[in-house]
Structure 1
Amino acid sequence: MDYTVFTGARIFDGDRFHDDSALVIGNGRVQAITALNAVPASAKTVKLEGGVLSPGFIDAQVNGGGGRMLNDGPSPDAMYTIAKGHRPFGTTGLLPTLITDVAAASAAAIEAATEAVKSNRGVVGLHLEGPHLAPARKGAHLAQLMRPVEDNDVKVFIRAREAIGVLLVTMAAEQVTERQVQALSEGGVIVSLGHSDCTAEAADARFDAGARGVTHLFNAMSQLGHRTPGLVGAALDHPAVWCGIIADGHHVDPRALRMALRAKRGEGRLFFVTDAMSLVGTDLQSFTLNGRTVYRRAGGYCSKLVLDDGTLAGSDVDMAATIRYGVNILELPLAEALRMATAYPARFLRLADRGHLTPGARADLVHINDAIEARATWLGGEPA
Structure 2
Amino acid sequence: MRSYDIATIEGDGIGPEVCRAAVTVLTEACGTSLLRFANFDGGALHYQRSGAVLPEDTFAACNSMHAMLHGAAGLPGVTYPDGTEVGNDLHLQLRFKLDLFANVRPIRLYAGVQSPLAGFQPGQIDYVIVRENTEGLYASRGAGVNLRGEVVTDQLVITRKGTERVAKFSFDLARRRQGAPRDGKRRVTVCDKANILRSYAFFRAVCDEVAAGYADVEIDYAYADAITVHMLKKPDFYDVIVAENMFGDIISDLGAGTVGGLGIAASAELGERHGLFQGAHGSAPDIAGQNLASPVATVLSGALMLRWLGEQHGDAALLSGADRVEQAVEAVLAEGRVVPRDLGGQASCTDMTEAICRRLR
- By percentage of residues, which structure has more strand? 1
TM-score computed with the length of structure 2 as normaliser: 0.31
Higher helix share: 2
